[in-house]
Amino acid sequence: MGKVAIYPGSFDPMTYGHIDIVERALEIFDKVIVAIAVNEEKRPLFTVEERLQMVKAFFKDTPKVMVDSFKGLLVDYVAKTNAVVILRGLRATSDFEYEFHMASMNRSLDTHLDTLFMMTSKDYFFVSSRTIKEVARLGGGVEGLVPDLVVRRLKQKFKLPVTKRNQIRWDD
Ligand code: PNS
């Protein structure tokens, strides 16, 4: 079966930063399981079904990527798979504290479980699902930062026209 890594997250929505991590992880692991957390407390923009559909569509031709969702503790989900490690991306030092706490808690819950961190590539270090949603909600362009399908889904969510917004006319 080979070495399997679990890449958990909210993926609300998936960005090219996430995709970059998965693609680089495939150089190291035989299989990557993208595990979408069902966490209604975070009040996600996209339902878990919508997030699953977007991630599955992107990786439909990549058999080494499996896409799934999970409820409850990540360590319990990992135990049901044959994954050897949790994979997380780090963009900046500001991510470190949150990630350090999460990795430490997961290791305390399951002492055999390690978290492996990969630095997000320089092209995407400023990209987060949160800022993507904010920019899209306010009508800004997020093309090139998320897959085209995600761009379309964001526009549908925020009911934005596909065409450019009207220019402000200062002489009005
Ligand atoms: O993309 P995110 O929101 O930073 O991902 C966070 C996620 C989903 C990996 C984390 O919240 C998680 O593992 N949730 C499942 C519940 C859990 O196991 N919590 C204890 C770990 S601190």
pLDDT digits (tens, 9 = 90+) for 32-46: 999 999 988 889 999
- Cα–Cα nearest to 124, from 9, 21, 10: 21
- pLDDT tens profile 72-121: 999 999 999 999 999 999 998 888 999 999 999 999 999 999 999 999 99
Nearest atom within ligand 1 for CA of residue 105: 22
In angstroms, the CA 139 to CA 141 distance is 7
Looking at residue 92, what is its pLDDT?
84
% of the chain exceeding 90 in pLDDT:
87
Pocket test for ligand 1, best of 45, 74, 81 (most atoms within 8 A of CB): 74
Average model confidence (pLDDT) across the chain: 93
Distance 149 CA to ligand 1 centre (A): 25
The reply to whether ligand 1 has any atom less than 6 angstroms from the CB of 74 is yes
Ligand 1 in reach of 37 Cβ (< 6 A): yes
Cis peptide before 13 (omega within 30 of 0): yes
Ligand 1 atom closest to the CA of 77, numbered from 1: 18
Residue 16, Cβ density class (10 Å: 0-12 exposed, 13-18 middle, ≥19 buried): buried
Catalytic residue list: 18, 42, 91, 129
Which amino acid belongs to residue 167? Q
For 164, the token pair is 């450019």
Q: Which residues pair with 130 in a beta bridge?
A: none
pLDDT at 41: 86
Q: Which two tokens stand for residue 130?
A: 């949160």
CB 101, CB 69: distance < 8 Å: no
pLDDT band at 171 (very low <50, low <70, confident <90, very high): low
pTM assigned to the model: 0.92
